[in-house]
Amino acid sequence: MTKIVVDSALNIPTDLLSRFGIGVVPVSLTIDGKSYREGVDATRAELISLIGRSDALSTSQPSPGDFLEVYDRLGGEIVSLHITAKASGTYQSAVMAAGMTKAKVTVVDTANASMGGGWQAIAAALLAEKGVSAAEIAAKAEAAKRETSTFLSVPTMKYLSRSGRVGLAKALLASLLSVKPIMTFNDGVVEVVARSRSMTGACKEMAGLLKDKYGAKPVAVAVMHADDVALAQQFQELLAKSLNVKLALTTDLTASLVVHGGPGTIATSVIPFEYVE
């Protein structure tokens, strides 16, 4: 059976990783000069606590050696799906490792992050369980990529501007106007597509944008939050009213993404249900 590998920035809940036997290569966080492999050297709770107390934050992609260790251990045929190559060097590290291992590895750029890539990996894992070939799985992942959407908003632009994920001019403007930017991935690049005066308003705006895209089409929805359970529940309820939701999950935003969005970040990733049913 084809094996599936992801990086930790795809934010797949641990129960689903276990359910599908998905291999994970951790992203590293550097906090006050000390490096932590996500989920290996520190728990999410420990990392979030450190993030909240530090102004010296960054992330770094796994090395080719990190991927090689996983690929060699799994062997056989592997489809390896990763956070957008336009925001991280993770994809390139995976490609380099794929050329070094005896395993047959197909590397996929999800052009997304968090469960935007996670849904694609789950779709791939479901196909792998059915005995579908690695080539067919990769082709299906490419199709799913085009139909998967992620929207997110942050209460402050401080973290995004510091990480360079959004231009400084846009960050300053948003801060001056006290607005909450609404962002999405466009061909793998984070873009601001709307603004709101509040995080609740941002959730309503995102629900509306998703309704415009998916209409009555059956979908699977994930809501990711940086420790605002009440807002996440409210957002999930909004999405249930706006979309034809057949599968829904809510999970913590992984620490390597909280570094860039900051505490209070709220996000959602949506994929047509046909890919994950």
Q: What is the CATH number of the domain that holds 9?
A: 3.40.50.10170
Tens of pLDDT, residue by residue over 210-233, are 999 999 999 999 999 999 999 999
User: Which is nearest to 196 in space by CA: 209, 185, 186?
Assistant: 209
Both 111 and 162 in one domain: the answer is: no
Amino acid at 16: L
Name 15's Cβ contacts closer than 8 Å, sequence gap at least 6: none
Which has more confidence, 176 or 212? 212
Q: Which of 145, 163, 193 is the last residue of a domain?
A: 145
Both 52 and 98 in one domain: the answer is: yes
Both 114 and 154 in one domain: the answer is: no
Both 176 and 88 in one domain: the answer is: no
Q: Tokens standing for 119?
A: 């849904």
How far is 79 from 77, CA to CA, in rounded Å?
A: 7
Q: What percentage of residues in the chain have a pLDDT greater than 90?
A: 87
Q: Tokens standing for 225?
A: 């939050």
Both 40 and 79 in one domain: the answer is: yes
The answer to whether residues 130 and 161 touch, using CB atoms and an 8 Å cutoff, is no
What's phi and psi for 170, nearest 5 deg? Answer: -65, -40
Confidence check: pLDDT of 167 > 70: no
Please report, for the domain that includes residue 248, its CATH number. 3.30.1180.10
Both 67 and 156 in one domain: the answer is: no
Kindly tell me the burial class for residue 86, based on how many C-beta atoms sit within 10 Å of its own C-beta (0-12, 13-18, 19 or more).
Answer: middle
Q: Please give the torsion angle defined by the CA atoms of residues 101, 187, 57 and 23, in that order, rounded to the nearest 10 degrees.
A: -30
pTM for this entry? 0.94
Q: Which of 123, 145, 167 is the last residue of a domain?
A: 145
Tens of pLDDT, residue by residue over 27-77, are 999 999 999 999 999 999 999 999 988 888 899 999 999 999 999 999 999
Q: Tokens standing for 219?
A: 């979908």
User: What is the number of domains present in the chain?
Assistant: 2
User: Which is nearest to 28 in space by CA: 57, 5, 70?
Assistant: 57
Confidence check: pLDDT of 169 > 50: no
Both 58 and 135 in one domain: the answer is: yes
Both 201 and 238 in one domain: the answer is: yes
Query: What average pLDDT score do residues 164-192 get?
Result: 72
Both 227 and 203 in one domain: the answer is: yes
Both 102 and 199 in one domain: the answer is: no
**Residue span of the structural domain in which 31 resides:** 3-145
The pLDDT assigned to 80 comes to 99
In Å, how far are 22, 46, 161, 215, 260 from 248, measured between CA atoms? 20, 27, 31, 17, 25
Both 132 and 235 in one domain: the answer is: no
DSSP 76: S
Q: Which of 116, 145, 174 is the last residue of a domain?
A: 145
Both 158 and 130 in one domain: the answer is: no
Confidence check: pLDDT of 85 > 70: yes
The pLDDT assigned to 159 comes to 83
Task: Work out the end-to-end distance of the chain between its first and last CA atoms, rounded to an integer number of angstroms.
Answer: 19
The answer to whether residues 201 and 180 touch, using CB atoms and an 8 Å cutoff, is yes
